[in-house]
Amino acid sequence: MVKISTNHLASLRGRRFAVRVGSDLSSERAIDAGVAQGSKIGPILFNIYVNEIPSPRNCQTRLRLFADDTDVMSTGESIKVMEDLNYYLEQLGKWLIMWKIKVNADKCQAVYFTRRRKVPDPPKLHRRAIKWSKDTKYLGITLDSRLTYDKHITNIHKKTRSAKARLYPLLGRNSKLSPKNKLLLYKTILRPKMTYASPVWGAAAHSHIQKLEATQNIIARQITNAHWFIRNRYILKDLRLTPVISHIKNLATKFFHSVDNHTNDAIKEIPTYDPSNRKNVPGRFFFQVAKEQDRPTSATLEQFC
């Protein structure tokens, strides 16, 4: 049961709106549905509204909700995956119709995570096929169909370089800031951009991570105003900066050690991470979220907009 205060309910009554175009103002009209954007009661009412969304029939298919972003994930053998996924989408479609929720199937994305070249027929929602995509963006992470994270790392590399350019007056060689303050700017603004959600993609190929290492080396040279002949490792040592890959490993270790006590059930189900076990690298965890035994041969993810 959810208790809603009378103040929240009072804010929904007697609301009116008007439209202004240039200097012209329309007459007022009553607002019969919906809540004001940014209101405190909005998330509560939305959670109540979607509370009875159908649950998958087995543990191989998972439903994940984040605000109005809905994802359906299924793992297992190819035939079983598509059977379970299409069955759930059929049940979900009936629920959407019952509650008069419109979903634009053309804006939905489906990604088939596998190393195989041949993929099955795409899933269907409201009898309309959702075409397979090569990648999708979920909670700020670009997931490609082969889980190489190449596109994601390329994107964050570009964003970091763009942010670095905007901060050049503060980080550049002509800046009046002390190296200590420049380093603080890097650690609080730029490095978090590079390592956001790194426990997920930190096991990417060395060639991808090297793009971020190069960016950190450039920034370190700007901070210290170092000459060209000074090696990067000496600059990082003077600044007490660890390589990006070492920082990612530290973040991943802390994250996986805190998994058991996390409040999110989906995170609790991530298998125990042992940094000393090279066979149990973070790259496998995405595949093992919904299956505790053998690593599945394929996985699918649906994202509904």
Dihedral, CA of residue 178, residue 184, residue 185 and residue 187, to nearest 10 = 150
- Is the model more confident about 150 or about 3? 150
**Do residues 110 and 178 both lie within one domain?**
no
| Res. 294: pLDDT tops 80 | no
pLDDT score at 126: 86
pLDDT of 172 > 60? The answer is: yes
Percent of the chain predicted with pLDDT > 90? 43
Q: Quote the pLDDT of residue 153.
A: 95
Same domain (yes/no): 188, 246: yes
Residue 298 lies in a domain: no
Q: Where is average pLDDT lowest: 44-53, 260-269, 286-295? A: 286-295
Q: Is residue 141 part of a domain?
A: no
At 87 the pLDDT is 92
pLDDT per residue over 3-34, tens digit each?
777 776 777 778 888 999 999 999 999 988 77
pLDDT at 301 exceeding the cut of 70: no
| 267 assigned to some structural domain | no
- The answer to whether position 234 is within a domain reads yes
Structurally, how many domains does the chain consist of?
3
Q: Do residues 164 and 250 both lie within one domain?
A: yes
Average pLDDT, integer, range 26-49: 82
Three-class DSSP category at 274 = coil
Among 121-125, 151-155, 159-163, 194-198, the minimum mean pLDDT is found in 121-125
Residue 296 lies in a domain: no
The answer to whether residue 257 scores a pLDDT higher than 50 is: yes
Domain hosting 72: range is: 58-133+280-291
> What pLDDT is stored for residue 274 in this prediction?
54
pLDDT digits (tens, 9 = 90+) for 103-144: 877 778 899 998 888 888 999 888 888 889 999 998 899 999
Q: What would the mean pLDDT of 140-166 be, rounded to a whole number?
A: 94
64 and 42 within one domain: no
To which H or E segment does residue 156 belong? helix 150-166
Greater pLDDT, 141 or 281: 141
User: Pick the residue with more confidence: 12 or 52?
Assistant: 52
pLDDT at 61 over 90: no
Same domain, 232 and 286: no
**For residues 271-289, average pLDDT:** 48
Q: Mean pLDDT lowest for which of 160-174, 230-244, 245-259?
A: 245-259
Q: How large is the average pLDDT for residues 82-87?
A: 90
Question: What 3-state DSSP class applies to 86?
Answer: helix
Pair 23, 108 in one domain: no
Are residues 244 and 203 located together in one domain of the fold? yes
Task: Using alpha carbons, select from 184, 190, 141 the residue that is nearest to residue 161.
Answer: 190
In a domain, 20, yes or no: yes
User: Do the domain assignments include residue 305?
Assistant: no
Is 147 among the domain residues?
A: no
How far apart, in Å, are the Cα atoms of 305 and each of 49, 65, 70, 97, 151?
17, 12, 7, 16, 21
Give 304's pLDDT tier (boundaries 50, 70, 90). Answer: very low
Q: Is the pLDDT of residue 297 over 70?
A: no
- The pLDDT, as a whole number, for residue 271 is 64
Task: For residues 212 and 198, give the distance between their C-alpha atoms in angstroms, rounded to a whole number.
Answer: 12
- Could you tell me which residue, 287 or 107, shows the higher pLDDT? 107
**pLDDT at position 227 over 80:** yes
Residues 63, 114 within the same domain:
yes
Handedness of CA 218, 220, 225, 226 (dihedral sign): negative
Q: Which pTM value belongs to this model?
A: 0.75
Q: What is the pLDDT of residue 217?
A: 95
3-state secondary structure of 29: strand
> Which two three-digit tokens encode residue 71?
């994802």
Q: Are residues 40 and 72 in the same domain?
A: no
Q: What is the mean pLDDT of residues 205-232?
A: 93
67 and 97 part of one domain:
yes
| Whole-number Å distance between alpha carbons of 45 and 66 | 14
